[in-house]
Chain A
C-alpha cells in the first residue's frame, strides 16, 4: 500500500469544496471538489484552458472563488490575504519561474524563510543579538536545503545568469525553505527537455518521501504526471472530468476524448 492509501482514512490535509470561479461571463471553474491527503502527490491535469491555473491561483489566494471553499487542515483559507498563505504551510513555485532575478541563490532561498521568521526594522538595523541568532539559524537551514538540491556550487551566483533548469531548482529550494506542508508546483516540467523532466519527477518523489511534503502537481506533461503522481484529478472546461489512480484516469474514455478528440470529429 502506498502512503497515500494509508492516509485515506484520515481527514484531508487540503480540501477543495465545490469551487467555482466566474470571470465576467466566463465560468473558469465549475463546482470542482477533491481532497488531498498527507503524503500524497496529486496530479492535476487537463488540456489548455481547463482551469488548472485558475484553481492553482485560488489556492495561492491570487483569485477569490465565486463560490465554494478551500480548507487547509479543516480551516478555510479564503479569508487570508496572499502573504499569509505561506505561514499555514502552503508553498508554491511558478509556471515560468518567478525568482528574484537580482538576488543571489542564497538570498532567494533566504527570502523563502520569511514566513517562518520574524524581525522589525529597528532590530534589523541595529543587528541585535536575537537578529544574529535568527540569521544564523536561517543560514544553517538554507545551506542544508542548497546541499539537498545540489545548489551549493552556485550559492553566491545571481540567479538571472543561471540556466533555466537550475533556476527551477532554486525556486524549489526557496519553496522548501518555508517548511511547507503542501507544495504547489505549477507546470514544473515546462521548458525542460525529456531527460530533465524525469529527473524532476524523481526529485519530486524524493522530496515527498524524505521531507514528507504533500505535493500538488499541476502539469500537462502527461508522462511526468503519470509516472510521478499517485492520484490524478483531470479537469476540462472548468469541470472535474475524472479522478483516480494514474492508470484509471489514463483509461477513462472522457479523458481520452478531451485529450485526443473523439473519433467522429
Chain B
C-alpha cells in the first residue's frame, strides 16, 4: 500500500471538495445576505414583489435539491406539494381567518405528511420510473383541486383570493416590502436548517443512500425510512414555499400549479447546480427572469429563445452555478497569491 500513499501525497486532492461544498463561506454569505436585505430599499414595489418570488421559488428549488442532490431521488411532482401548501394557506386564511404566519407551519406539516406518504410507493421505484410516478402526481393535482365536492373549500376552477397582510406593529413598510422581509426571514431559517440537516447524521445517511444503497444498509441506515423522510422534508419545504407564494400572489387557482411549475423547479435545480444549496437562488432567478429576457429578444419565439439560453447554460456550465462559483473561487485564490 506504500505505492498508493505516494500517489496520494504527490497529487494534492484537487477535486476534493471539503464538507462545506454544499454551502458558501462566511464572507460570501454575508455579502449575499446584505444584498438581499438592502436592495428592496432602493427599488420599486414590483421589483420587490419579484424578489419575494425569487426567494419563494428559491425555497422550492432548495427543497428539490435536498431530495435529488441529497437522497438521489427524482421528482417532477413538486408542483403538487407546492399546490397543497398554497391551498392550505389560502383556505386557512380565507375560511378560518387564521393569521398568515401561522398557516405556514400547518402547510409545512401537511405537505410533509403528503410527501412522506407519497414516498412509500416511491420506494419501489427509482430513477426514471420514480420521475414518471411523480409526473403523474403533478398531472393529477390541478384536476383534484377542481373536484366538485372540494369546491366549497377550494373555490373550484375560480380559485381563492388571498388578502395580503399589512406590516405588523404599525411599521412604516409597504405590504410588498413587509412580505419580502417576512419571506426573507423564513427563507434564511429554512436555509440554515437545511444546511444543518445535510451536514448531520441524517444528511450523511441520505447521501450514503444516494451513493450506494446496499453499503448504506450494511452501515445500519434504514434506507426505506430515510428515503421517505427525504420526500417528506422536500414536500414540507415546498409546501411552505407554496403558502408564501399564495400570500405573495394573493390568489390560488388550480391552473397555477401545473406540471410546468414542476419542470421549472427542476430546471432551476439543474441550473443552480444539483446538490449545491446556494445555487437554489440562482436557479430560481433563472426560471423567473430568463423567460422575461427571452420574451424581450423575441415575443413570438420566446419559448425557443428560452430553450437556446437553457441549452447554452447546460453546455457551457453543466454543473450550473456551482461550477461558476468554483471557478470564481479558484480565480480569486490565484489573484491573492500573485
Interface residues of A (CB under 8 A from B): 60, 62, 82-87, 91-92, 94, 98-104, 106-107, 110-112, 114-117, 119-121, 124-127, 131, 134-135, 138, 150, 153-154, 156-158, 161-166, 169, 174, 178, 193, 195-196, 199-200
Contacts and interface: CB of A to CB of B under 8 A. Distances in A.
A92 to B, nearest CB: 6
A182 to B, nearest CB: 13
Interface residues on B, range: 35 or more
Interface string B49-91: 0000000000000000000000000000000000000000000
Given A87-B220, A166-B4, A178-B220, A114 B201 contact: yes
A100 B212 CA distance: 6
Interface in B1-46: 1-5, 7-9, 13, 15-19
A196 B4 CA distance: 9
A162 B220 contact: no
Nearest to A123: B200
Contacts of B19: 104, 106-107, 156
Given A124-B202, A158-B13, A200-B1, A82 B18 contact: no
A48 B217 CA distance: 26
A203 B213 CA distance: 28
Q: Chain B: interface secondary structure?
A: helix
Nearest to A158: B16
B219 A107 contact: no
B171 interface: no
B204 A164 contact: no
Interface in B107-134: none
A102 B221 contact: no
A154 to B, nearest CB: 5
13 contacts: A87-B220, A98-B215, A100-B211, A102-B210, A102-B211, A103-B204, A104-B16, A111-B205, A125-B193, A125-B200, A135-B201, A153-B8, A196-B3
Contacts of A157: 8, 13, 15-16
Interface of B: 1-5, 7-9, 13, 15-19, 193-194, 196-197, 200-205, 207-208, 210-212, 214-223, 229, 233
A163 B218 contact: no
B219 A165 contact: no
A79 to B, nearest CB: 16
Grouping DSSP codes into helix (H, G, I), strand (E, B) and loop, the A interface class, with mixed when no group exceeds half, is: helix
B201 A84 contact: no
Contacts of A100: 207-208, 210-212, 215-216
A99 B221 CA distance: 14
A98 to B, nearest CB: 4
A163 B8 contact: yes
B16 A111 contact: no
B203 A124 contact: yes
B272 to A, nearest CB: 17
Contacts of A106: 19
B94 to A, nearest CB: 30
Contact of B200 (A82, A98, A112, A131): A131
Contacts of B212: 98-101
A107 B200 contact: no
Contacts of A117: 201
Given A104-B18, A106-B19, A158-B16, A134 B201 contact: yes
Contacts of A125: 193-194, 196-197, 200
Contact of B197 (A115, A124, A164, A178): A124
A110 B233 CA distance: 22
Nearest to A94: B215
A53 to B, nearest CB: 13
B202 A178 contact: no
Nearest to B220: A115
B283 to A, nearest CB: 20
Given A102-B207, A125-B196, 18 more contacts: A82-B217, A86-B218, A86-B219, A98-B215, A98-B218, A100-B210, A100-B211, A103-B211, A114-B205, A119-B202, A121-B197, A124-B201, A138-B201, A150-B5, A156-B18, A161-B16, A165-B3, A199-B1
A156 B218 contact: no
A107 B196 CA distance: 15
A162 B196 contact: no
Given A62-B214, A156-B13, A157-B16, A114 B220 contact: yes
